[in-house]
A and B are shown apart, each in its own frame.
Chain A
């Protein structure tokens, strides 16, 4: 996929994000609310949608076609992704190619979850067969247990201190304070970060994403057919990686390392041209790992990058507050939030958190913890139409 791709994101929509849904609020209603917001944002009628992609941990027993039916959408392109934190990025790639190839004119991409805490715990214990057979019986506590070990490994390998991760949590909380959708907006100090209760050593409360209910939606169409009020955001390149190392590595590199050079080359610009980055932040360690793999930490000094680029300079990374402060409505929807934020930034619609003159963004997805770490990774490069 290169610069000739004829597909653009023209609208975004979001439901409210809540820690505990009200009676009657379900995954389906959050998804509906996000779709209505996206349609309004596009100035588009539901009848104009002829493609739908969805991801959710809690849509079952319904699948994509059930959702189309419930929404009254008659389609000629339909997709459902089940790859956790990279699902949104996968859907973006499939939808972009679908529009580019003429399989559909206007594709709605939606992600949402309302698992509740008990529902999330059940999903975490039965995430896949390896988890239910070999991890859950140990009392691994879901992904926190897995990424606590990865984080310790990263700290040893790169000489990181606990406070290095704190810079990320604090910076993202500062961004979240400017995002009315974020569930946590109060300022966070380093003292509070370091004093937070331990969840799974060395992960403390602020290293772990809060489970919320909510949904996101975006609409893709051909740039030349875009007639909405907002500038189309071009998808310059999308790349994906699945099971790149068969879980035989240490989890400190992601599948992004396999395609980063190709990604930048396809887009025609490099890491230095990025104004805004939405990096999938299921855990701070994985944000640093993805930035490293993207080539955005050229000297490989993760600690210095955390302290200086994120902590001191407030490099625009996860400007919506990230999942760590805005909340994670299931891994799939969290990934779409990062894409949505990049679009808002590039369209100059990010309100108080707007990055001046933002023209190019990178968004990533990472997830599907197969056993010792995630098995999927993806990234997209987005550019505002000039």
Chain B
């Protein structure tokens, strides 16, 4: 798991995207530069307690988060962080995760 989540910034107009797009939804430029989102604030949380067809499911917590730039996406929570808290972002492969900033620093 690596710190930060890779997002994409349109080099023509500066719009941010996650997931990646083929053309910018604002100006339709095809040119993007990778950027790192390192922190975000939790807006909503859910706990996935039951999944169809799974008999031995360990509940997972997911959150809708928003970066200071206004980009919203869904992350898996690695701890008990709560709505309204700012969390540090991580990436495991293509999947975004987050945990409390303080615990991340420790």
Q: Which residues of A are interface residues toward B (Cβ below 8 A)? A: 117-118, 120-121, 124, 129-130, 133-135, 137-142, 144-146, 148-149, 152-153, 156, 197-203, 211, 246, 248, 371-372
Contact = CB atoms under 8 A, between A and B. Distances in A.
B24 to A, nearest CB: 10
Contact of B93 (A137, A139, A211): A137
B74 A140 contact: yes
Given A133-B94, A138-B95, A211-B52, A152 B46 contact: yes
A371 B19 contact: yes
Nearest to B25: A246
Given A117-B53, A201-B47, A138 B76 contact: yes
- Majority SS of interface residues in chain A? helix
Contacts of B60: 138-141
18 contacts: A118-B53, A139-B62, A144-B51, A145-B46, A145-B62, A149-B44, A149-B62, A149-B74, A152-B44, A153-B44, A198-B47, A199-B48, A199-B50, A200-B50, A201-B49, A203-B46, A371-B73, A371-B74
A301 to B, nearest CB: 22
Given A133-B94, A133-B95, A199-B48, 18 more contacts: A121-B53, A137-B76, A138-B95, A139-B62, A140-B62, A141-B50, A141-B51, A141-B60, A144-B48, A145-B62, A149-B44, A149-B46, A149-B63, A149-B64, A153-B44, A198-B47, A201-B45, A371-B19
Contacts, number: 103
Interface residues of B, number: 30
B89 interface: no
Contacts of A197: 49-50
Contacts of A142: 51-52
Contact of A139 (B18, B51, B52, B72): B51
B48 A145 contact: yes
A372 B64 CA distance: 9
A142 B51 CA distance: 8
B59 to A, nearest CB: 9
Contacts of B43: 153
Contacts of A203: 46
B92 interface: yes
B19 A133 contact: yes
Nearest to B58: A139
Nearest to B47: A201
Nearest to A118: B53
A248 B95 contact: no
**Most chain B beta-carbon neighbours within 10 Å: one of A139, A142, A199:** A139
Contacts of B44: 149, 152-153, 156
